[in-house]
Amino acid sequence: MKQLRLVLPLLAAVGLLVAPVLSQEYVREVPARQLPLPATASPELRSFIQAGSAAIWNDHPATAAEWRAWVGRAAERTRAGLPALRGRMGVTVEASQVAGVNVFAVTPPEIAPENRNRVLIHFHGGGYVLNPGEAGTPEAIMMAGFGRIRVISVDYRMAPDFPYPAAMDDALAVYREMLTTHEAGRIGVFGTSTGGGMTLALVLRAKATGLPVPGAIAAGTPWSDLQKVGDSYFTNDTVDNVLVRYEGWLGDAARLYANGHDMRDPFLSPIYGEFSGFPPTILVSGTRDLFLSNTVRVHRKLREAGAVADLVVFEGVSHAQYLFSPDMPEAREYFRELGAFFNTHLKG
């Protein structure tokens, strides 16, 4: 104890024990630097990194008509690759409705025996503006194919025509209807980016309305805070070659969907919600992901609330990049992780 009493003042004197008081204007200057291709990532991932930043990241549609045209062009590019993806995964995709909401039922060629009584609900990504219709199904197609499980992909309403809370109203309506045919413990919910944020917000909505929560959920790089809050919004600014910067279309989409509502509303930014009673959750991100902090903050809050929460962080991956090709090792690992997690935590 005598030695400890001597050491503590010394640590305080050199600033190692007492943190400095920082002003709100504190900014750390980081010198310009070059980032090499990560040798520890797969060759397939390195090719996506080397391709450079997404061409659309700094587009700024100014009117509702411009947003619709911009979204339409992006959706057309995605739809062009869907026949090959469906064939590669061997799945069938059928347009339908659940509770009056448009959905796509994705069925693998063979359902695993343990999944015969289970179903997954999927929410696609895209900043509450992108990927309408079939353009929102690639992740669901790969999950059904790799996981050998039925998936219902929700084609929820989006901005500019349907701002908040339209997307979450549709999500809750589908979930409520699925509860009439499936026990909650046999329902899993998943999605990436906006879909990950919606997955978290759905649990908050279910709790708020007295519905049982799903048996397990997977939130890939969730948009859990629509504001530019969190370290990686800054540290991975321009490092992420998918979203690139909040100041691109992403921030515009956040304001468009929020439509004047407080972005700290937990149903918009679920990080501000109450996480007690959450089901087992798996979270996924990457070391170059603009949303890495969004993901880490959710993981810590879930752990503090006593929930089962796994965190998977891929080396070198930018935002949602693990979905870019079903043949990429990171993609196969992502769906393997989700499949194992759901198999562990959903009722048979």
Q: What is the pTM of this model?
A: 0.93
Token pair, residue 178, equals: 């699925």
How many CB atoms sit inside 10 A of residue 161's CB?
10
pLDDT at residue number 1: 46
Domain ranges of the chain: 88-345
Place of tokens 């060759």: 43
pLDDT at residue number 20: 55
Token pair, residue 253, equals: 């989409």
Residue pLDDT tens, the chain, 348 long = 444 444 444 444 444 444 555 556 788 898 888 999 999 999 999 999 999 999 999 999 999 999 999 999 999 999 999 999 999 999 999 999 999 999 999 999 999 999 999 999 999 999 999 999 999 999 999 999 999 999 999 999 999 999 999 999 999 999 999 999 999 999 999 999 999 999 999 999 999 999 999 999 999 999 999 999 999 999 999 999 999 999 999 999 999 999 999 999 999 999 999 999 999 999 999 999 999 999 999 999 999 999 999 999 999 999 999 999 999 999 999 999 999 999 999 999
The CATH homologous superfamily of the domain defined by 88-345: Alpha/Beta hydrolase fold, catalytic domain (3.40.50.1820)
Q: Using CA atoms, how far apart are residues 183 and 179, in angstroms rounded to an integer?
A: 6
- Are 72 and 61 a contacting pair, CB within 8 Å? no
Pairing mode, strands 309-314 and 101-107: unpaired
